[in-house]
Amino acid sequence: MYKVMLIDDEDNLHAAIKELLVANGYEYCGATCGEEGLAMLGSEKPDLLLLDVMLPGINGFDLCRKIRDEGRRIPVIFVSAKNDIVDKSIGFKAGGDDYVTKPFNATELLLRIEANIRRHKDTIEFAHCCNREGVASIGDLEVHFDEYQVFVKGKPVQLTTKEFEIVAFLATNPGKVFTRSQIQEYIWGDADAKDTNSITVFVRKIREKIEENPSEPKYLLTVQRVGYKMADTL
């Protein structure tokens, strides 16, 4: 079940959107201003954001820029009473993914939500990996998702944030092989943003920290001419 969040200062719209989303199999959460919305993004971890442009305090465009500056890749659909091409242009440049004009048709809104979730499915699934709670165990390796920590034989391993995210992503899908480009896209959001050789470098550094013998890894495995996977059994 995907969770959709609405940031809008109209109580009536919150009630209508909540009813629409819940009736169609989504979870709902909502905030009435930008500051509350930013805090809720961290606590609720929604999969998609419906964002009003005209908000009290910080407006929707500036809020979206702030969200992107924080590195959040959540899909954002602007919801606005304005149907001006200039406003739409500002919205997309601010980091928005779509734009819906009030008053909108409920069916159209659902279709846009579905389309954006489908388009950003890989990003959303990666966020689910990093937002997981609990522990994944593979032999003496433990990945504590909610603590952003990895342990080997009970001892903490000092991984960087990106190193942990790679381990967490692979540990969420043990035994499944991912190409360097796929891992690149999950971690940075764009397979072309960096040279995929950087993934090879990250893997080497991770192995130096989690493997007893990095040249003969038993946890983070190479699949020749394909990519990498996390062992499902030892």
Measured CA to CA in angstroms, residue 222 lies from 109, 176, 199, 218 at distances of: 43, 11, 12, 10
What pLDDT sits at residue 131? 66
Measured CA to CA in angstroms, residue 202 lies from 92, 208, 224, 228 at distances of: 32, 10, 17, 12
Phi, psi of 106 (to 5 degrees): -60, -40
CA angle 55, 61, 64 (to 5 degrees): 105
Q: Is the peptide bond before 103 cis (omega within 30 degrees of 0)?
A: yes
What pLDDT sits at residue 51? 96
Helix 180-188 vs helix 197-210: crossing angle, to nearest 10:
90
- β-pairing, 227-230 vs 220-223, is antiparallel
What pLDDT sits at residue 59? 93
pLDDT of the chain along its 234 residues, tens only?
A: 899 999 999 999 999 999 999 999 999 999 999 999 999 988 898 999 999 999 988 999 999 999 988 878 899 999 988 777 888 899 999 999 999 998 889 999 999 999 999 988 877 776 776 666 788 899 999 999 878 899 999 999 999 988 998 998 899 888 999 999 888 877 776 544 556 678 999 999 999 999 999 999 999 999 998 999 999 876
Measured CA to CA in angstroms, residue 83 lies from 59, 64, 93 at distances of: 17, 18, 16
What pLDDT sits at residue 130? 63
What pLDDT sits at residue 158? 94
What pLDDT sits at residue 192? 47
Helix (H, G, I), strand (E, B) or coil at 180: helix
Q: Among candidates 192, 234, 199, 201, which has minimal Cα distance to 217?
A: 234
pTM: 0.66
Measured CA to CA in angstroms, residue 187 lies from 44, 128, 192 at distances of: 21, 12, 12
**Distance between CA atoms of residues 111 and 126, nearest Å:** 23
